[in-house]
């Protein structure tokens, strides 16, 4: 009996190993996924182990350097990928369909962002991770901001309409308050209060939102031009294929880059042994919120809207999630996310190339949740009780701020803006920074998963319309071929044949030459055999195709 049990267990293990080998051999993406997961584990393990060796600053920089190069190359792909993918996708769609897609995408993204902020606020109020007994005074030198919610909204709208599309690739607009030079009073003293002047200035950073708006309009106009713009459509389609091929090849270096990124980030993190209990509760609160958003909110909303099983979404987007965790950037994981949605989830490429770049800019579920928890956590550290109205203000401002964030890793500027808006102190912000190396990666994973679910939801509602549009376009092309065939059938046309040609081409029938009384009215007898074949084909196709559409 024991021998049989041993044989059965060994056979099961062999079967599992064999199935795993078949899964790896099924596609290169599975091998890359396993290598990327191993890279994340090695980076975490190696980073924690090397923290005890007290490495020099130069050594840490050298460890982090390959990961930095990996990130720079991924960011290099963002701009050409957005240009080629958006324009090629919209140029091959009807303007009405692209408008419906935009409304669906925006509505879904705003809804999930609001839900993420609400989840974060409920959790931080219920768990209450902020302990006011933490009395360390953290100094954080930062220029005081007086940005209001109106300024944030206006900045988003300004960036949607850039003055120069080339300039938008490396600069964006932002409202800042600068101090006005103080005037010395008559008694030789300076005024007690310093006046601030509002200025709208250009700051470094890609204006992704403006580029998306420009490409959207450009692609819609091309789609309205039809065959006249076929050359430029083919150009962007080929450019997109070239960029995706470069990304696909470069991603085989991702495991090495991710090891250096994760390990280097751990080595650069400050000592977090102080106030460990408070920080641990804060970390648990944020991670629990991200877990609920990823595995409760998003799949539930997806099932309610589509009545489909959400599990295939997780399997199909796994490679992009691991890449987002390793790079801590939704923008850097955008090419991988596109590839996963097209190849694994089988979503229409036009939907993928419109929804995902837009989501990489405005769909910040993880950021909204993180910012809501962080702001109320700081209020709890200072023993400040927020009223219901102030909590609602925090929720609204976090949603607005998350919609305007860039898709590349950034600092905690949005946290500082929200703290200033609600009137909370910012001296505990360094506490949050000590854990930002981990939570930033979690935010990127949540954002990428939210983009994938949004892409699947839009595909569910628009796939049939896109398929019908493709059938109509194919039918119109066949009609045009038949018309061209009629045109080339004969060089000398009889009057009755002239009337037929004008009817087929949609011209005014009254301009045709009427047949004389002595002329035969039998069109079949007067037409060539090629014209008769084309007419019979049209007579069969028109009623049947019209009935199916």
**How confident is the model over 442-451, as pLDDT tens digits?**
999 999 999 9
- In whole angstroms, how large is the CA radius of gyration of the chain? 30
Distances (CA, A) of 134 to 380, 411, 437: 11, 24, 22
The predicted model gives 123-152 an average pLDDT of 65
Q: In this structure, what token pair is assigned to residue 537?
A: 């084909």
Asked if pLDDT for residue 470 goes beyond 50, the answer is yes
Q: In this structure, what token pair is assigned to residue 309?
A: 């099983």
The predicted model gives 40-62 an average pLDDT of 85
**What's the whole-model pTM score?**
0.64
CB 77 within 8 A of CB 248: no
Q: In this structure, what token pair is assigned to residue 391?
A: 């909590």
Q: Specify the 3-state DSSP secondary structure of 171.
A: strand
Q: Which helix (H) or strand (E) holds 204?
A: strand 196-204
List b or e across 372-410, with b for residues whose CB sees 16 or more CB atoms inside 10 angstroms.
bbbbbbbbbbeebebeeebbebbbebbbbbbbbbbbbbe
Q: In this structure, what token pair is assigned to residue 93?
A: 């769609």
**Per-domain residue ranges of the chain:** 23-182+190-470, 471-548
CB 245 within 8 A of CB 41: no
Best CA proximity match to 110, nearest among 385, 350, 358, 330: 358
Q: Which helix (H) or strand (E) holds 526?
A: helix 523-526
**Amino acid 142: pLDDT:** 42
- Does 23-182+190-470 carry CATH code 2.130.10.30? no
Q: Give residue 401's region: left, alpha or beta (phi > 0; psi -120 to 50).
A: alpha
**Amino acid 140: pLDDT:** 42
**Amino acid 452: pLDDT:** 95
**H helix runs in 51-170, sequence order:** 57-76, 78-91, 95-127, 149-160
Question: Which of 424-433, 448-457, 512-521 has the least mean pLDDT?
Answer: 512-521
**Amino acid 500: pLDDT:** 47
The predicted model gives 297-317 an average pLDDT of 94
φ, ψ for residue 202 (rounded to 5)? -90, 135
- When pLDDT is cut at 50, 70 and 90, the band that residue 4 belongs to is very low
Asked if pLDDT for residue 289 goes beyond 70, the answer is yes
CB 289 within 8 A of CB 115: no
Question: In angstroms, rounded to a whole number, what is the distance separating the alpha carbons of residues 360 and 279?
Answer: 29
DSSP state of 205: S
The predicted model gives 511-523 an average pLDDT of 44
Strongest mean pLDDT among 11-20, 164-173, 384-393 = 164-173
Question: In angstroms, rounded to a whole number, what is the distance separating the alpha carbons of residues 35 and 76?
Answer: 23
Best CA proximity match to 91, nearest among 527, 473, 430: 473
Q: What dihedral angle (degrees, nearest 10) is formed by the CA atoms of 497, 501, 507, 513?
A: -10
Residues near 198 by Cβ (< 8 Å), separated by ≥ 6? 151, 175, 176, 177
Give the relative orientation of helices 413-422 and 365-381 as an angle to the nearest 10 degrees: 50
**Amino acid 514: pLDDT:** 46
Residues near 162 by Cβ (< 8 Å), separated by ≥ 6? 168, 172, 207, 210, 211, 214
Question: In angstroms, rounded to a whole number, what is the distance separating the alpha carbons of residues 383 and 392?
Answer: 19
Q: In this structure, what token pair is assigned to residue 549?
A: 């559409």
Q: How far is CA 475 from the centre of its chain?
A: 34
Q: In this structure, what token pair is assigned to residue 484?
A: 């061209």
Q: Specify the 3-state DSSP secondary structure of 197.
A: strand
Question: In angstroms, rounded to a whole number, what is the distance separating the alpha carbons of residues 377 and 434?
Answer: 14
What is the tens place of the pLDDT at every residue in 348-386? Answer: 888 998 899 888 877 888 989 998 999 899 888 888 887
What is the tens place of the pLDDT at every residue in 214-246? Answer: 988 898 888 888 788 889 988 988 988 888 788
Asked if pLDDT for residue 119 goes beyond 90, the answer is yes
> If you search the block for the tokens 């993918």, which residue do you land on?
85
Asked if pLDDT for residue 304 goes beyond 60, the answer is yes
The predicted model gives 239-265 an average pLDDT of 84
Question: Which of 41-45, 130-134, 516-520 has the least mean pLDDT?
Answer: 516-520
**What is the rounded end-to-end Cα distance, in angstroms, of the chain?**
66
Task: Tell me the pLDDT of the chain averaged across its residues.
Answer: 75
> If you search the block for the tokens 């399997």, which residue do you land on?
315
- When pLDDT is cut at 50, 70 and 90, the band that residue 146 belongs to is low
Question: Which of 253-267, 279-293, 396-410, 493-507 has the least mean pLDDT?
Answer: 493-507
Cβ count within 10 A of residue 93 = 24
Strongest mean pLDDT among 8-12, 55-59, 89-93, 225-229 = 55-59
Q: In this structure, what token pair is assigned to residue 332?
A: 């850097």
Q: In this structure, what token pair is assigned to residue 410?
A: 């950034």
């Amino acid at each position: 009996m024991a021998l049989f049990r041993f044989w059965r267990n060994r056979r099961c293990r062999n079967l599992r190993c064999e199935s795993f080998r078949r899964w790896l051999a099924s596609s290169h993406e599975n091998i890359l996924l396993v290598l990327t997961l191993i890279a994340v584990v090695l980076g975490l393990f190696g980073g924690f182990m090397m923290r005890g060796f007290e490495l020099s600053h130069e050594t840490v920089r050298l460890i982090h350097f390959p990961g930095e190069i990996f990130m720079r190359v991924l960011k290099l792909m963002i701009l050409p990928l957005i240009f080629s993918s958006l324009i090629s996708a919209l140029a091959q769609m009807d303007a009405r369909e692209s408008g419906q897609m935009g409304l669906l995408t925006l509505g879904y993204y705003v809804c999930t962002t609001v839900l993420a902020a609400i989840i974060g606020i409920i959790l931080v109020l219920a768990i209450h991770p902020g302990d006011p007994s933490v009395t360390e005074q953290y100094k954080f030198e930062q220029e005081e901001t007086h940005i209001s919610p109106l300024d944030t909204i206006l900045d988003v709208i300004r960036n949607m309409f850039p003055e120069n599309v080339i300039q938008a690739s490396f600069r964006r607009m932002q409202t800042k308050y600068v101090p006005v030079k103080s005037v010395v009073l008559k008694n030789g003293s300076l005024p007690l209060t310093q006046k601030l002047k509002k200025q709208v200035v250009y700051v470094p950073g890609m204006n992704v939102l403006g580029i998306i708006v420009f490409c959207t309009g450009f692609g819609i106009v091309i789609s309205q031009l039809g065959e006249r713009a076929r050359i430029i459509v083919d150009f962007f389609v080929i450019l997109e294929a070239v960029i995706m091929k470069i990304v696909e090849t470069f991603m085989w270096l991702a495991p090495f880059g991710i090891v250096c990124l994760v390990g280097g980030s751990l080595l650069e993190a400050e000592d977090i042994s102080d106030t460990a209990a408070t920080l641990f509760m804060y970390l648990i609160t944020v991670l629990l919120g991200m877990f609920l958003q990823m595995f409760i909110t998003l799949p539930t909303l997806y099932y309610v809207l589509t009545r489909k099983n959400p599990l295939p979404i997780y399997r199909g987007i796994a490679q992009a999630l691991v890449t987002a965790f390793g790079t801590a950037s939704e923008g850097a994981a955008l090419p991988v996310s596109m590839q996963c949605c097209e190849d694994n989830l089988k979503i229409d490429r036009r939907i993928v190339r419109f929804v995902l770049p837009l989501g990489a800019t405005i769909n910040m579920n993880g950021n909204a949740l993180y910012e809501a928890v962080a702001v109320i956590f700081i209020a709890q550290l200072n023993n400040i009780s927020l009223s219901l109205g102030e909590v609602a203000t925090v929720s609204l401002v976090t949603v607005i701020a998350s919609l305007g964030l860039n898709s590349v890793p950034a600092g905690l500027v949005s946290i500082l803006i929200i703290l200033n808006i609600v009137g909370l102190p910012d001296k505990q912000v360094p506490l949050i920074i000590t854990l930002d190396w981990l939570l930033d990666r979690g935010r990127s994973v949540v954002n990428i998963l939210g983009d994938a679910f949004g892409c699947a939801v839009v595909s569910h509602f628009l796939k049939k319309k896109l398929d019908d549009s493709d059938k109509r376009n194919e039918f119109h092309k066949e009609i045009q071929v038949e018309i061209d065939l009629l045109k080339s059938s004969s060089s000398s046309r009889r009057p009755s044949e002239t009337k037929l040609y004008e009817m087929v081409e949609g011209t005014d029938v009254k301009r045709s030459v009427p047949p004389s009384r002595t002329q035969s009215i039998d069109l079949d007898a007067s037409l060539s055999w090629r014209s008769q074949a084309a007419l019979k084909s049209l007579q069969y196709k028109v009623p049947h195709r019209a009935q199916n559409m």
